[in-house]
A and B are shown apart, each in its own frame.
Chain A
Amino acid sequence: MERGCEFGMPGQEQLQKEVMDRDLCSSCGICVGLCPYIKTVRDRVKVIYPCGHEDGTCYMVCPKTPTNIGNMDRAVFGREREDQALGLFSGIYYARALTGKPGGAQYGGAASALTGLALREGLISSAVLTGGDIKSPRPVLARDADTVARCAGSKYTGVPSLLELNRAIRDGLTDIGVVGRPCQVVAVRKSQQGNLPGPQYPSSSGIGLVLGLFCFWSLAPELYGFLQLETGGEEIVKMDIPVEGPVAYTRAGKYSWQLEDIRTFIKKSCNTCFDSTSEYADISVGSTEHDPVWNTLIIRTGKGLDIFNLALQKGVIEIREYPPERLPLLRRAALGKKMRVLSLLEKDLGNTGYITLPEKYRRDLETQWGGINQ
């Protein structure tokens, strides 16, 4: 089918070749629902029919197509980064929800508390979340605080929840909030910068707030079969993957494993993911790696700072100083991941693949890694 080149970029065919066929898709979901040809079930995202276009939006917004880290920094923050580990931010704290902490919150419940606040205050019209239970997670568009609370807790598989963002935009919503993994945050930012034609695409007015999670990898759904065997079929109500290794809680008790036991379930795409702290979010939320009732909070953008202040003012969250002795640990984890990714990509491809790293970034990265590794 001969069709004109609308955006002057590759499209579905390239997305399939470069991302999906090479198992680099992280199931972010941003390409699902943009058109009728890319569909999802569980964590699978696939082209089910050729769209016939040579170029396309899907390729442009996918977080796993060529991404220039320097350009992303400039587009989101207006400047380049100094810290190659954590990216640009204005503050880092320990935090936890004071009011409205959902029972199922993963740690301190900050992600849910901030989302709930933004909804109540009308800063966002709705929020793209990941609900369902651990074994059958599903994308959810929350329009009220109750739904936000029900979506609390981490599901460790790649859920393509951004399909809800596309649906919400198509339904005419603006100021939509997103809670997502780092790849999802990149996807949302890419689509905001796209200046994509037509009302069906995300635009700057479409997105109200982006809360990014820390994430070092997600897992394939086959994990559930493994867990189910291990727990003898008991229902798993919560999962966590602290440094000591994964744990699953059933109503009867706790099961734990070594990280090695589940390594085969790590999604291949996650091994080449450059961002573990959602560097382009308004606020990033993670664990503290030692205190399960607190979160780590990284305030990144002006918008992030505003909602952070509002949350403090309203008594929605409380904060503590981020222990200075722990910062190097976090930075080392983030830098270490980047170094591993680069060496893996370079070993496989002879170049850095989809990641375009400005020369200065590369030099800084090596220096900072060298520094922190001593």
Chain B
Amino acid sequence: MSLAGVCQEKAGVKVALTGNEAIARGALEAGVAYAASYPGSPTAEVLGTLSRVAKQFNLYAEWSVNEKVAMEGVAAASFAGLRSLVVMKADGLNVALDFAGALAISGCRGGMVMVLGDDPNAHSSVREEDSRNLCKAKHLPVLEPSSVREAMEMTREAFALSEELELPVVVRCVTRVCHASGDVELGELVRPERKPDFTRENRVITFGIKLHAGQESKLARAAHLVCDSAFNSYTGPENPERLVIASGPCYMYAQEALEMLGAGGTTGILKLGTTWPLPEALLLEHMERVPEVIFAEEVEPFVEDNVMALAAGCLPGKVRFYGKRSGHVAGPAGPGIGELDPDVLAASLGNILGINYSPGTIDNKQEALSLLEDKMPDRELAFCAGCPHRASFWAVRAALELDGRGGIVLGDIGCYTLGMARTGYYLLQTVHCMGAGIGLAGGMGNLSRFGFDKPVVTLVGDSTFYHAAIPALINARYHNSNFMCIILDNETTAMTGHQPHPGRQHTAMGEPAHTVPMEDIIRGVGMPYIVQDPYDVEASIEVIYDLLRQEGPRVLILRRSCVLAAVRGKQKDRVYVNEDKCIGDSCGCGRFCSRVFACPANVWDAEKGRARIDEAVCNGCGVCASLCPQGAIMVERGV
């Protein structure tokens, strides 16, 4: 977990890196010249790392406004012959898909790698997606690292493969690999001369059915090449009774599971590092020797379906398949849903092999969990202490209640997505994808012609605004849709670790930026807007209320820096409760701060029957003090 490790000049040494750092290192070892991304978990740190070493390695790194733009920029560098890398989470591929599909037709020149971060179990995503099916649909080859070491090696080798095929290559990396940390043996760092070469002679056109045939032949060549790839390997007995085909971290899980079951002597594992196109010859060679095949992969039965299709053609009726389709390989949420782990896989394999697997570790797990429970404060998912979104959501809720017409609230993607839960007073009624809130609001706002009379409000973050909101805003202006767009501007891409966006003064590489203020955009679109500080809750309520009563598309910017960024390196204001003034549970308060407003630092001291501020958690915003009906919460300004 070190930048020093990523930049280590000496080849052959072993350093501990995270999966994301390993990807960055792999790209450096391949001599990457151009890297771009839009921040998203689990892969946000790849570009974060590259941007920090950009000067040192004379490469260009940018946080792009969105994934499609990032991919286009990266492709341009590739067209000019440079090695280039684009990084995004699974959801980002959806945004970039239109271009990705076209690019797969035209192909590329300099090695171009797309790192896709899939998030099985949706640890830090709104949904679980398996991007491999989209890659297949777009004719893109896919590699899947099973470990941190492989993440580095695959990224590095993917550039060469891309040049060989003249096709971008996908490295599909799941959360457990991106966020794991492990020892990797470093390769040589290279610093090729960067000489972009693109002249009037170059043509990169995607037109005509002939190119489709070209794509198919590229993939056929890829299928041939990957049969010899070192990323595919077999471990196990010479004449196994059955074969597990595993990809990604499931390779490790499968090894562990077989060990736990004591079935390693009869069962072999074929690790698939190249999951699309399939190394058909290799697969057939292994499958011919066994009557049973079991699949271990996350999330969807991607390898499974494609291998079964292959077998149906080449080995009809010869092999029995176990996996998600047969229902045998499944986590607690069911086959094809959520992550696998060694326990789940051991239980599944035990079932198939007829070995009674009682997870001895489960008891320990329960025990460990119950031990942890005592130590861990019982906290639900909530906005951080002092988060400006809490103040904003409270003001919106109050204004809607005051307005009394049952206003509708549409959500978007960002920290404020949490506003669908208690921490946002359950305000959000829709959550879909980046920018969808504004498009939906436009639609709802057009329904008045059918008698729909509820005010429509949509909440969108600043980064999401730049990313995906603008066309919907233009559409709304053009059609005079009736809604109010509230931009929750915390002046950063907070959720993924405070990456800059076009509203900021600096670029990813720390260079001064030509800032694009959102006000200029809104003004340009021709919408009226107001800027308001959400920490001033009373004033915000009034502004929102008044705007609710207006017509047409209109914008309110609730602007206040993310509290985590704001307090960094500063002494926080001290906030405490004057116990003589606090009236606690009685009429006139009813534990407002801890029960309703519910900043995590507002706690209830049941013994004293008084509110308390958890000073270790409090970020000193003072919003609760401004809302306390008794003026019992005091703020001591820090110096």
Contact = CB atoms under 8 A, between A and B. Distances in A.
Interface of A: 3, 6-7, 11, 33-37, 39-42, 44, 46-49, 51-53, 55-57, 170-171, 197-198, 200-201
Given A6-B587, A49-B397, A41 B629 contact: no
Given A11-B587, A52-B590, A198-B588, A46 B404 contact: yes
A40 B404 CA distance: 12
B397 A51 contact: no
Interface in B366-423: 397-399, 401-404
Contacts of A33: 629
Given A46-B402, A48-B397, A41 B545 contact: yes
A6 B586 contact: yes
B590 A35 contact: yes
Contacts of A201: 588
Best-buried of B542, B583, B590, B629 by chain A (most CB within 10 Å):
B590
B510 interface: no
Best-buried of B425, B546, B630 by chain A (most CB within 10 Å):
B630
* A contacts with B: majority SS: loop
Best-buried of B542, B546, B588, B630 by chain A (most CB within 10 Å):
B588
B541 interface: yes
B256 interface: no
Contacts of B542: 41
Contacts of B589: 35-36
A36 B398 CA distance: 11
Nearest to B587: A56
7 contacts: A11-B587, A34-B588, A39-B541, A41-B545, A48-B401, A48-B402, A200-B630
Nearest to A58: B587
Given A35-B589, A39-B401, 5 more contacts: A36-B592, A36-B628, A47-B401, A48-B402, A200-B588
Contacts of B567: none
Given A6-B587, A34-B588, A41 B399 contact: yes
Contacts of B628: 36
B587 A55 contact: yes
Interface in B582-597: 583, 585-590, 592, 595-597
Nearest to A39: B398
B587 A52 contact: no
A328 B227 CA distance: 108
Contacts of B597: 36
Interface residues of B, number: 28
Best-buried of A42, A52, A200, A201 by chain B (most CB within 10 Å):
A200
Interface in B145-200: none
Contacts of B592: 35-37
Nearest to B627: A36
B416 to A, nearest CB: 19
B590 A51 contact: yes
B430 to A, nearest CB: 22
Nearest to A11: B587
A44 B402 CA distance: 6
A84 B241 CA distance: 103
Contact of A36 (B401, B541, B596): B596
A198 B627 contact: no
B593 to A, nearest CB: 9
Contacts of B399: 41
A41 B402 contact: yes
Interface string B544-577: 0110000000000000000000000000000000
A292 to B, nearest CB: 34
Contacts of B590: 3, 35, 37, 51-53
Nearest to B629: A36
A44 B629 contact: no
B108 to A, nearest CB: 56
A200 B402 contact: no
A3 B587 CA distance: 10
B561 to A, nearest CB: 26
Given A57-B587, A198-B586, A49 B402 contact: no
Best-buried of A41, A47, A171, A201 by chain B (most CB within 10 Å):
A41
Nearest to B401: A48
A357 to B, nearest CB: 29
B583 A198 contact: yes
A228 B540 CA distance: 26
Q: Which 7 A-B pairs have the closest CB atoms?
A: A48-B401, A41-B545, A36-B592, A48-B398, A51-B590, A36-B629, A46-B402
Interface string B108-120: 0000000000000
B631 interface: yes
A48 B629 CA distance: 14
B583 A41 contact: no
Contact of B588 (A35, A40, A44): A35
Contacts of B397: 48-49
Nearest to A3: B585
Given A3-B585, A198-B588, A46 B545 contact: no
Best-buried of A34, A48, A171, A197 by chain B (most CB within 10 Å):
A48
A43 to B, nearest CB: 10
B587 A7 contact: yes
A35 B402 contact: no
Nearest to A52: B590
A34 B629 contact: yes
Best-buried of A7, A11, A51 by chain B (most CB within 10 Å):
A51
B398 A44 contact: no
A210 B481 CA distance: 49
A171 B581 CA distance: 11
Contact of B545 (A44, A55, A57): A44
Contact of A44 (B404, B585, B595, B596): B404
A146 to B, nearest CB: 25
A41 B547 CA distance: 12
Best-buried of A33, A37, A171, A197 by chain B (most CB within 10 Å):
A37
Contacts of B595: 52
Nearest to A34: B588
Contacts of A36: 589, 592, 596-597, 627-629
A243 B436 CA distance: 56
Contacts of B587: 6-7, 11, 35, 51, 53, 55-57
Contacts of A171: 631
Interface in B45-65: none
Contacts of A55: 587
A33 B397 CA distance: 17
A231 B589 CA distance: 45
A200 B596 CA distance: 20
A12 to B, nearest CB: 9
Best-buried of A39, A40, A44, A52 by chain B (most CB within 10 Å):
A39
Nearest to B541: A41
Nearest to A54: B587
Contact of B402 (A6, A40, A53, A197): A40
A40 B545 CA distance: 10
A52 B595 CA distance: 10
Contacts of A11: 587
Contacts of A39: 398, 401-402, 541
A374 B628 CA distance: 57
B402 A170 contact: no
Contacts of A200: 583, 588, 629-630
A201 B586 CA distance: 13
B357 to A, nearest CB: 47
Given A39-B541, A41-B545, A170 B585 contact: no
Contacts of A197: 586
Contacts of A56: 587
A55 B545 CA distance: 29
Contacts of A44: 402-404, 545
Contacts of B586: 6, 197-198
Contacts of B402: 39-41, 44, 46, 48
Contact of B631 (A34, A170, A198): A170
A11 B630 CA distance: 19
B94 to A, nearest CB: 37
